[in-house]
Amino acid sequence: MIENQDASSMDVPNSDIKEYLQKLLAKSGSIFNHSTTVPNSRKIAASHIFANEMGVWCKVLSQRREADLLKVAILEYEFALLALTQGHYRHAFKGLRLVLELILQAVYLSANELLLREWIDNRADTVWSSITDKDESVFSQRFAKAFFPELTNHVQHYRQLAVNLYRECSECVHGNTPKFIPLPDCLNFDQSVFDLWHSKASILFMIAHFVLSLRFLSDLSETDVSYLEPFLSDRLGHLEEIRKLLGGPAKG
Amino acid sequence: MANLIIRTEDIRPEYILDLYVDTTQDKKIVELLKSPTPTILEGSRGTGKSFLLRVTEAHLIETFEEKRILPIYVSFVKSSLLQSGDPNQFLHWMMARLCSRIIRSLYQTGLLARPASPVSLLTGGQVGFDAKETPLEKVAKEYEETYKRPGALIDSSNIPTVEDLKDAVEDICRERGIERLSIFFDEAAHIFRPEQQRQFFTLFRDLRSPFMSCNAAVYPGVTFYGHTFQTTHDATPVSLVRDPIEQGYLKGMRDIVQKQADSELSAEIERHRENFHALAYAVSGNPRLLLKTVGMAPRLRAAEVKKILKEFYRTDIWSEHSVLAEKYVGHRALIDWGREFIEKTVIPDSIKKNEQWEKEQKSETTCFFWIHRDAPAVVYEALRMLSYTGIVTQIDTGIVATRGEIGARYAVNLGCLAAPSAEPIPALTKFGRSLAIKRFTEYGANHPAFAGLTSVVGDFQEIDISSVLARELAKSIDVLDLTTYQKSGLHSIGLETVGKALQASEAEFQKIDYVGPKRSRKMMNIVIASVLEFLSG
């Protein structure tokens, strides 16, 4: 639905479909201008950098099959960001959920090649409950103990963050009464929803870098770690276990 | 244990300002860091250097639209992991790191944007037409490639120079309307490898341009600035010392804790004010130690605080100092001697003085001591190690003591000084009221306590002889910064190499005509200084 005051002008009898869509496009264009004017442009830039960071993960994991999933996640993330700038908020949040799902799925499947191959061949589906399962998922103690034991104490917290973020973004998929994400009911710029998206995205960044570090960081060469270090220090430097691995100081 | 954050690295950058207490001193430092003047911020571990750099960064981000000054925070903490014989590797590593941080900051503020490297929404696959590199990104990439292949045969004409980087920065600043980049080097020169320290300060000086201002946080006593760097001309040095006898000290320290305290802790601080003050005095101006010790005694009961003062300042505080000995094996003798000197000489001497003055009903106390400027170089080196952990703080130099002798003045940590007391809380309260900086214990150039250290100095090379050190010891004494007469004198008594001179005693030097105790001490200091530089960092 588009903004109410514009509705009458949309009802021009001879308006063809192209003309109608052009009006929506023009409206999206004006929202785009709001979204990309300072200070909002700064917020966009700060969120866009996540795509570059994921690109570095893809680069260091390029020999692994699951890197393809991460590439899809990057593309979807950029689509979500583009939707956000044009005021397509529901799609922007849905995109965020998909990116979360893809990254968690990539990490989960990286530890199970049979499932990974089945998933790529479309013979297995993503089951959210299994990728966040307490005992079997990337957030399980078992998974942490196998790949980065020092992070075992943190997995429960990050699992909760992932579950909450997924639930909140799911509102935008199901379209039920909003509890966490109050979307505008027409095509219009909405500062609070715009800000909310960035706030949810920043949670996604933490979860994504955490699970990727949990799974791969201990196994990477020093050179590969050095590619990741500039942004991992910013994103997860507050976790002593990761900071130490990146060459930073211990607590105390 | 209360859940207090004690390290800046544990705080996510976006929450830094929530914990900032803008004391007069800190405000001044932050303003200086924001200015185009290059600043070297010097302070012991835990005094808040990283925190203030981060605060300045946050302020500049907030005001970017108005001032157009882009902050770039670069940490060199990982430099201690670089172990390579390639003398340029460290320089290339620093350049790569600086470039990548600049680019990241440009991305973060949206002043530069590019698609993720393996895929692009615009092309659907590999990055395409929109991926033309800026000169800055090109410089960054070349440094990245160079430092990762130390020792590899590289055409040096392909390696960008510092000037190339400055040009690239100027271009990007002009194109994007940036007034200048303000660089904050954290953990700069934090290791004791003089060669790397020199390289860093040379780079620091060379980077200066109208489009780039540099600031660095260093530990006290970084002495290896190199020949090209002059601290007063090339930067403004600022000491981050929170002086317990300054007015407003207790309030500042209290506010730092309050920023993180829950209502219960705040109430306990209010209820047990004297106990909290004792902890604040004990840390001698070190916020990290204060947060740590308050976290260990969150109810602030007298018995609890007394226990911390007795245990923490007798044992725990030394553990970090002792860890240095494991990390920097070459300095073990200095580190161990430093502890002994403080525990067995400085603290008992100060206590004795304070007790005596109390009997005489004098209102003054001391935690200060003075070291003669002609004391063996190794003594100063040992004190430098103690300053790193904040167990001692150098107050000033060029201080005139008894008989007009000149030396440096230090303060010993108040917690360490109060710990042996039966009642450390009242002892600390008294220090807060009565410390007099003019009162200090003097240690002359040949104080007997120094003998223990000078006698073990010869053991350095036995402990960790490395090829570099061996080469250094085998060098002729002609390379040393001695007078021609002194050099020929050393040759005449058969001390032809640095190694032999190091093994000799000052008494042996005195066999040379016209070389008495003072000259022989100076000569020995020069010999030792040349070797200290090559101890493992």
Angstroms from B250 CA to nearest CA on chain A: 22
Angstroms from A198 CA to nearest CA on chain B: 13
8 Å CB contact of A230 and B101: yes
Establish how many alpha carbons lie within 13 A of residue B278's alpha carbon, considering only the half-sphere containing its beta carbon. Answer: 30
Locus of tokens 């970090």: B320
pLDDT score of B85: 57
CA B122 to chain CA centroid, Å, is 48
CA B352 to chain CA centroid, Å, is 31
Out of B10, B107, B118, the one facing A59 most closely (by C-beta) is B118
Establish how many alpha carbons lie within 13 A of residue B473's alpha carbon, considering only the half-sphere containing its beta carbon. Answer: 19
Show which of residues 130-159 on chain B sit within 8 Å of chain A, judged by CB atoms. 148
By C-alpha distance, the chain B residue nearest A75 is B121
pLDDT score of A226: 84
Q: Which amino acid is at B267?
A: A
Q: Can you state the percent helix, strand and coil of chain B, rounding each to 5?
A: 55, 10, 35
DSSP secondary structure letter of residue B276: H
A63 φ, ψ (degrees, to nearest 5): -80, -5
Is residue B533 within 8 Å of B527, Cβ to Cβ?
no
pLDDT tens-digit map of B460-516 = 433 344 555 666 778 888 877 778 888 888 999 999 888 888 878 888 888 888 888
Q: pLDDT truncated to tens, each residue of chain B (537 aa)?
A: 556 777 887 888 888 999 999 888 999 999 999 999 999 998 888 899 999 999 999 999 999 999 999 999 998 866 544 555 566 777 888 888 898 899 999 999 989 887 776 666 665 555 444 456 677 777 777 776 666 665 555 555 667 888 989 999 999 999 999 999 999 998 776 555 667 778 888 899 999 999 999 999 988 765 566 656 776 678 888 889 899 988 889 999 999 999 988 888 998 998 999 999 999 999 999 999 999 999 999 899 999 999 999 999 999 899 878 877 776 666 788 888 999 999 999 999 999 999 999 999 999 999 999 999 999 888 988 898 898 888 999 888 899 998 999 999 999 999 999 999 999 999 999 999 899 999 999 999 999 999 878 776 644 433 344 555 666 778 888 877 778 888 888 999 999 888 888 878 888 888 888 888 888 888 887 777 666 654 433
With contacts defined as CB-CB under 8 Å, which chain B residues touch A246? 78
- Sort strands B406-412 and B392-400 into parallel, antiparallel or unpaired: antiparallel
Interface check A15 vs B, CB under 8 A: no
Interface check B449 vs A, CB under 8 A: no
Interface check A252 vs B, CB under 8 A: yes
Angstroms from A9 CA to nearest CA on chain B: 33
- A23 pLDDT above the threshold of 70: yes
- ω into A39 cis (within 30 of 0): yes
How far apart CA B335 and CA A154 sit, in angstroms, is 37
Cβ burial of B401 (10 Å; 0-12, 13-18, 19+) is middle
Is residue B368 within 8 Å of B401, Cβ to Cβ?
no
Tokens of B228: 């090209």
Specify which residues B180 forms β-bridges with. B69
The CA–CA distances, whole Å, from B246 to B238, B243, B392, B424 equal 17, 5, 18, 21
pLDDT tens-digit map of A187-216 = 999 999 999 999 999 999 999 999 999 999
Q: What percent of chain A has pLDDT over 90?
A: 64
Is residue B444 within 8 Å of B404, Cβ to Cβ?
no
Residues 6+ apart with CB under 8 A from B79: B90, B93, B94, B187, B190, B191, B196
pLDDT tier at A173, thresholds 50, 70, 90: confident
Is residue B68 within 8 Å of B242, Cβ to Cβ?
no
8 Å CB contact of A233 and B75: yes
Q: What percent of chain A has pLDDT over 70?
A: 93
Interface check B177 vs A, CB under 8 A: no
Give the range among A168-172, A239-243, B454-458 with minimum mean pLDDT. Answer: B454-458
Out of A44, A82, A247, the one facing B77 most closely (by C-beta) is A247
With contacts defined as CB-CB under 8 Å, which chain A residues touch B13? 234
Interface check A25 vs B, CB under 8 A: no
pLDDT tens-digit map of A128-152 = 888 888 888 999 999 999 999 999 9
How far apart CA B376 and CA B524 sit, in angstroms, is 8
With contacts defined as CB-CB under 8 Å, which chain A residues touch B121? 75, 78-79, 82
CA B54 to chain CA centroid, Å, is 17
Specify which residues A187 forms β-bridges with. A2
pLDDT score of B537: 36
Specify which residues B72 forms β-bridges with. B183
Interface check B190 vs A, CB under 8 A: no
pLDDT score of A7: 45
Three-state DSSP state, B369: strand
- Sort strands B368-372 and B440-443 into parallel, antiparallel or unpaired: parallel
With contacts defined as CB-CB under 8 Å, which chain B residues touch A229? 78
DSSP A127-173: -HHHHT-TTTSTTSHHHHHHH-GGGHHHHHHHHHHHHHHHHHHHHHH
Angstroms from A251 CA to nearest CA on chain B: 7
Among A79, A137, A67, A129, CA closest to A103: A67
Is residue A2 within 8 Å of A31, Cβ to Cβ?
no
pLDDT score of B247: 87
pLDDT tens-digit map of A47-90 = 999 999 999 999 999 999 999 999 999 999 999 999 999 999 99
| Residue B253: count of CB within 10 angstroms of its CB | 26
Tokens of B396: 């000033």
